[in-house]
Amino acid sequence: MLNQSASLDLLFQALADPSRRAMVGRLSRGPASVSELAKPLSMSLPAVVQHLQVLEASGLVRSAKVGRVRTCRIEPKALRTAEDWIAERRTSWERRLDRLGEYLAEHPDEPNPASKP
Amino acid sequence: MLNQSASLDLLFQALADPSRRAMVGRLSRGPASVSELAKPLSMSLPAVVQHLQVLEASGLVRSAKVGRVRTCRIEPKALRTAEDWIAERRTSWERRLDRLGEYLAEHPDEPNPASKP
C-alpha cells in the first residue's frame, strides 16, 4: 500500500487533467464502459485507456472486465481522501481567522497579534 | 483570467507535490516568510522559491514583499474551488446510490435498474 503522501500525489496528479476530470465527472453519474467514457472526448481509444490507467493507479476509478466489456466505476473513498486533505487546510485557516477576530474584538486597543513574528 | 478548467489543472497540479502540500499546510496555520516556509523542508531556497511560484500561479498562495522580507499567505478561495469540484462529483455519486437504494426498497421484486445498459 502507498503511504498517505504518495497517494495524495497520485490523486491530485490524476485530477490535474481536464480529460481525466471529465471521465470522473461521467462516472460520478454512474458506471460506464470504456467506449462510453471515450464518446464525449475527442481522443483515440488508446489515449482514453491511458488516462484510465492513471485514474486506476490513483485509486479514483476501478474497472472490471465482464466478457468483452470493461466497466468502470468511481471510488468515492479516494475522492473523499483528496477532498478531506483540502478541507482540513481550509478549515485550519478559517479557524485561525475566527480566533484572530475574537482576539481583536476583545482587545480593541492592543496591537494586532498577527503582525508579530 | 484563466478559464475554470485551466484553473483546476493548475490547482490540482500544485497540490500533487508533497513539498508544495507541506507549504500549503504551513500557510494554513498563518502567514510565513519564504525562509520560514523553507525551514522544515530539506531543499535549497531556490527550490522552495520555484515551488512557491507554482503555488502562486495556481492562485493557492499570494505573497508580498515588505522591505527585504516576502510574506506568503494562503488563498482560501482557491482551496475551496478545488474542494468544491471534488465534493460535487462525490455527492453526485452518493445521490445516485441513494436513489438506487430507494428504488430497490420500493421494487423488491424487479430487476436492478443499474444492470440495464
Strands, E assignment, A1-117 = 32-33, 61-66, 69-74
Q: CB distance from B78 to chain A under 8 Å?
A: no
Supply the ipTM of this predicted assembly: 0.86
CB contact under 8 A, A93 and B82: no
- Under 8 Å between Cβ of B33 and B72: yes
* Pick from A76, A80, A89: CB nearest B25: A89
Positive or negative torsion for Cα A24, A29, A34, A35: negative
Q: CB distance from A103 to chain B under 8 Å?
A: no
Give dist(CA B14, CA B56) in Å, integer.
9
* Pick from A12, A80, A114: CB nearest B90: A80
Whether the predicted pLDDT of A1 surpasses 80: no
With bands split at pLDDT 50, 70 and 90, how would you rate the model's confidence at B54?
A: very high
Whether the predicted pLDDT of B31 surpasses 80: yes
Q: Is B37 left (phi over 0), alpha (psi -120 to 50) or beta?
A: alpha
What's the whole-number mean pLDDT along residues A27-42?
Answer: 94
Q: Which residues of A touch B114 (CB under 8 A)?
A: 30-31
Instruction: Read off the pTM.
Output: 0.87
